[in-house]
């Protein structure tokens, strides 16, 4: 895993702080990491209650981190699994690139194009004000859409294999993001979002 900074591209979007590193992980390393995470992470199928009915969320997920880095989102309580060596290595690379520390990661596994993530902002109290979130993508390239919370402004970014997207500043305050379904045949994709969790009382 690299120890130096990669060239990064600032994305010009008002009231957002988005930085993209297309070649964060070399292709071979990203391939090996995808296979390892696919095989070894404790993927779970979570469900949420909608109008009194249990509905599977359209992806698998796993939550790893320091003890006590508990996270509640979409009504799901996430208690961290202990870090794996592979996740610690990616975390260290993200910390070097962003000059920010992380104590937890949400791993998402999109099995095919019918898996997705709906519109949301990462603005839970556990993340504090203006969180820095480092998002590493592996496997199938997928679109990530941004829409301003007020008004019609939209932006689409393609998250390729081995890329890093850094969301910071007021991004979560002014924008929502989503990973839409696709009708095109799609292979699997893994996304890792490293975060800092402030334990809640």
Ligand X SMILES: O=C(O)CCC(=O)C(=O)O
Where on the chain is the footprint of ligand X (CB under 6 A)?
106, 108, 117, 122, 135, 144, 159, 177, 179, 191, 193
Residues 181, 123: Cα–Cα separation, whole Å: 23
Q: Minimum CB separation from ligand X for residue 186, in Å?
A: 13
Please answer whether residues 93 and 186 qualify as being in contact, where contact means their C-beta atoms are separated by less than 8 angstroms. Answer: no
C-beta of 165: minimal distance to ligand X in Å?
Answer: 7
Which is nearer to ligand X, 69 or 159 (by Cβ)? 159
Judged by beta carbon, residue 59 or residue 93, the one nearer ligand X is 59
Q: How far is CA 107 from CA 68, 93, 118, 148, in A?
A: 17, 16, 16, 25
Shortest approach of ligand X to residue 190 CB, angstroms?
9
Q: Find the residue with minimal CB distance to ligand X.
A: 191
Q: Which is nearer to ligand X, 30 or 159 (CB)?
A: 159
Complex with ligand X: residue 93 or 179, whichever CB lies closer:
179
Sorted by sequence, the CB contacts under 8 Å of residue 13 that are 6+ apart come out as 146, 155, 175
| Best CA proximity match to 71, nearest among 96, 39, 91, 46 | 46
**Tokens of residue 102, six digits:** 């992380």
């Amino acid at each position: 895993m690299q120890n130096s900074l990669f060239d990064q591209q600032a994305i010009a979007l008002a009231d957002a702080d988005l930085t993209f590193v297309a070649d964060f992980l070399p292709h071979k390393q990203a391939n090996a990491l995808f296979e390892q995470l696919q095989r070894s992470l404790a993927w779970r199928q979570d469900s949420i209650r909608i109008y009194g009915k249990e509905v599977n969320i359209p992806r698998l997920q796993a939550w790893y981190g320091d003890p006590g880095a508990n996270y509640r989102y979409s009504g799901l309580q996430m208690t961290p699994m202990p870090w794996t060596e592979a996740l610690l290595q990616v975390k260290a690379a993200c910390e070097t690139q962003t000059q920010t520390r992380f104590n937890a990661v949400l791993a998402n596994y999109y099995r095919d194009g019918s898996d997705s993530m709906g519109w949301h902002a990462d603005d839970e109290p556990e993340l504090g004000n203006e969180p820095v979130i480092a998002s590493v993508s592996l496997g199938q390239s997928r679109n990530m859409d941004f829409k301003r919370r007020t008004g019609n402004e939209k932006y689409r970014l393609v998250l390729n294999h081995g890329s890093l997207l850094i969301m910071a500043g007021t991004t979560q305050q002014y924008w929502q993001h989503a990973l839409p379904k696709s009708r095109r045949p799609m292979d699997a994709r893994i996304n890792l979002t490293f975060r800092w969790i402030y334990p809640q009382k």
